[in-house]
Amino acid sequence: MDAAIHLAGRLEPRDAWRADRCAMARTLDVVRTKSAMLVLREAFYGATRFDDFVARTEASEPVVAGRLRELVAAGLLEHVDYRNPGERTRKGYRLTDKGADLFPVLAALMQWGDRWLGDQSSGVRLEHHGCGEPVAVTLRCAAGHGVTSGEVDLAIDRSSPRSPYAAR
């Protein structure tokens, strides 16, 4: 409840936020649509082929084709041709490091949904490989402390031009 209070404790609004510099907004410009998220979800779940993406995301072919093209162009997916023994060569898509690094975003969305929209279980759980314990998205500082949302401060880089929130 006081998450915002803590976060904003030292800040005073002055200029309008520079949307073009906000990392979150720019990330949303890369994966702005729900269908892009669903395609990425299926890439994480192991889909590689066009038809699998279509079937699993339950989106239409033109939409999936568009997302795949955009995600490849953005460098989140890459083409791979592969062949199962005895079968013909197939075209596929695979997460790049850049795409794979989006996993915490997907995991955080998943976790929030399971926690707050829990009228029905999603039926999927993330586990630590080998250990078997459930995996959660957490905040942690460089000193190794677990951090709650209420313990986060917003630090503004004053050297950057037109700092969005100048201290009073």
Partner DNA sequence: CGGCATCCTTAGGGATACTG
Partner DNA sequence: CAGTATCCCTAAGGATGCCG
Of residues 6-25, those binding a copy of itself (CB under 8 A): 6-9, 11, 13, 16-17, 19, 21-25
Distance CA(146)–CA(138), nearest Å, equals 7
Residue of 10, 18, 21, 91 interacting with DNA (CB under 7 A) = 91
Based on the shown chain and the rule CB under 8 A, indicate whether residue 153 belongs to the binding site for a copy of itself.
yes
Q: Which residues contact 76 (CB under 8 A, 6 or more apart)?
A: 30, 31, 40, 95, 96, 98, 99, 102
Closest C-alpha to 59, from 91, 33, 28: 33
Which one of DNA, a copy of itself, none is in contact with 80 (Cβ closer than 5 to 8 A by kind)?
Answer: none
Phi, psi at 95, each rounded to 5°: -65, 135
Q: Which is nearer to DNA, 51 or 151 (CB)?
A: 51
Which residues 93-132 are close enough to bind DNA by CB under 7 A?
Answer: 93
Based on the shown chain and the rule CB under 8 A, indicate whether residue 50 belongs to the binding site for a copy of itself.
no
Q: Return the DSSP state at 133.
A: P
Q: Which is nearer to a copy of itself, 73 or 155 (CB)?
A: 155
Based on the shown chain and the rule CB under 8 A, indicate whether residue 85 belongs to the binding site for a copy of itself.
no
